[in-house]
């Protein structure tokens, strides 16, 4: 029995370490959820066409407002306006992703966790 004593002690230490890892993971998860909720309330703004189209979105990538300068409305060139709106919406979505990634990075210490959000 004395021959295996070191292994038993190592196993107990490993269980304690695993318990600490689980507690740390749970704490990190709770912190990530808190940060995510905070960031969902933040807003980002994006423009296109030199400010002709302005989109405001929140951290959940929901569009809160869309403003179009009346001068940009040309019935003979709707396609350009559509493109400007698309560019502004996509930019707002990217900015929302960026603030979420920044906030999560602060929690995870910069460790990239695949599938986090």
Every domain of the chain and the residues it spans? 2-108
The string of pLDDT tens digits covering residues 7-38 is 555 555 677 788 888 888 888 888 888 888 88
What's the pLDDT at 114?
Answer: 58
CB-based burial, 7-21: b 16+ in 10 Å, e otherwise: eeeeeeeeeeeeeee
Q: Which CATH architecture is the domain 2-108 placed in?
A: 2-Layer Sandwich (3.30)
Question: pTM to 2 decimals?
Answer: 0.67
d(CA 77, CA 87): 16
What's the pLDDT at 103?
Answer: 83
What's the pLDDT at 87?
Answer: 97
């Amino acid at each position: 029995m004395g021959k295996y004593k070191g292994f038993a002690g190592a196993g107990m230490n490993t269980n304690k370490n695993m318990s600490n890892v689980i507690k740390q993971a749970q704490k990190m998860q709770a912190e990530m959820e808190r940060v995510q909720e905070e960031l969902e309330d933040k807003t980002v703004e994006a423009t296109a066409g030199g400010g002709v189209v302005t989109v405001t979105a929140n951290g959940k990538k929901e569009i809160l407002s869309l403003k179009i300068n009346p001068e940009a409305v040309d019935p003979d060139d709707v396609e350009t306006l559509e493109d400007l709106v698309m560019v502004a919406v996509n930019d707002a979505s990217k900015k929302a992703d960026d603030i979420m990634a920044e906030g999560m990075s602060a929690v995870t210490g910069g460790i990239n966790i695949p599938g986090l959000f």
